[in-house]
Amino acid sequence: MLRTAILTHKCTKITYAASSMHNTTRIIYPLKLAYKGQAWYLKSYCTAKQDFRLFKPSFVPEQTVTLCFPGEMAYRVYDEFDLEQVTLQTNGTLLVSAKMPVETDSHRNKHYNLRKEGITMSRPTTKPELLNASEENYEQMNLLIAGLSEKELSTPFDFSADVKKKEAHWNRDKNLRDVLIHLYEWHQLLLHWVHVNQAGTAAPFLPRPYNWKTYGKMNEVFWQNHQNTTLEEAKDMLDKSHQEVMQLAETFTDEELFRKGIFPWVGNSPLGSYFVSATASHYVWAMKKLKAHKKNCKAD
């Protein structure tokens, strides 16, 4: 039904759970289905709102789809999908074979709660959106950290009982310090990459010998290098690097951040996508892990 409506430019009727958690009926002109964060979004023109809107379709049957991601998104792709689902292409892009999930009431409640908490979920596409999302998500992450109990801080992370958490990072990080250090080190990658290339030395985002298929080993090295770093030191390091990344982002114009082809060393994606991945999106990733740990502690 959706495919036909999109291809024929016809309107269709949907029942949608609004942010108030009440179901409403909408007449929409569906334009495009987009996949993000293992969830589907339907970009449409809503006749009721007389404007373009994004809907999360819960009525789409589960099916296997093939997704294509740019190379610089590899570390997020490998965090979200199993290794056997991902195929690295010769042009550097990644093909992912994934199942389109059917959204349940619990998924809608989770998305609604994230919005209530002030967590920015939509991916920024302008400089103001980048700066706002990064600061808002960083603040929300710190509020979450400040609310952790002594038990939650002292209990080692253990997600082995959840068969869905098969990605390497679920087993790698053992505590809050490890999560903060991971964020810090990816800030350093971004800062170094931009500064070196601005100075006239061509350098890839990932340091040699790592690439987007082996970067997991690099993350393990980061983890190992900071086993003697204290939690307080990690907090200070991350706070400083967050400010440095924000200050660096401020030096670029909106066009320099989000228009492709401005900087040859960036490649086929806009520079801003790297900033988003290392800040706003990465903070959401960290909160997801911390909330999963809190849930485990309550279950014990």
The 10 Å Cβ neighbour count of residue 132 is 14
Q: Which of 93, 7, 94, 76 is nearest to 38 (CA)?
A: 76
| Residue 168 C-beta-side C-alpha neighbours within 13 Å | 15
What was the pLDDT predicted at 206? 93
Q: pLDDT 10s per residue in the chain (300 long)?
A: 566 666 666 777 777 665 555 667 778 888 877 656 556 677 888 888 888 877 766 544 455 566 677 766 666 676 666 666 777 777 777 777 766 554 444 444 444 343 444 444 467 889 999 999 999 999 999 999 999 999 999 999 999 998 888 888 999 999 999 999 999 999 999 999 999 999 999 999 999 999 888 899 999 999 999 999 999 999 999 999 999 999 999 999 999 999 999 999 998 889 999 999 999 999 999 999 999 999 999 876
Residue whose tokens read 């999106």: 281
CA gap 98, 81 in Å, rounded: 8
CA gap 126, 299 in Å, rounded: 41
**Adjacent-strand bridge partners of 57:** none
CA gap 32, 57 in Å, rounded: 12
Residue whose tokens read 């114009």: 253
What was the pLDDT predicted at 255? 96
CA gap 11, 26 in Å, rounded: 10
CB 41 within 8 A of CB 48: no
| Residue 240 C-beta-side C-alpha neighbours within 13 Å | 9
**Adjacent-strand bridge partners of 99:** 64
Burial annotation 155-176 (CB, 10 A radius, 16+ → b, else e): bebebeeeeeeebebbebbebb
Q: What's this model's pTM, rounded to 2 decimal places? A: 0.68
CA gap 104, 108 in Å, rounded: 7
Element (H, E) at 69: strand 64-69
CA gap 94, 55 in Å, rounded: 26
CA gap 170, 111 in Å, rounded: 21
- Give one DSSP letter per residue of 103-116, joined into a string: P-HHHHHHHHHHHH
What was the pLDDT predicted at 133? 92
Question: What is the 8-class DSSP label of residue 242?
Answer: H
What was the pLDDT predicted at 267? 86
What was the pLDDT predicted at 151? 94
Give the torsion sign (CA, 290, 140, 191, 273): positive
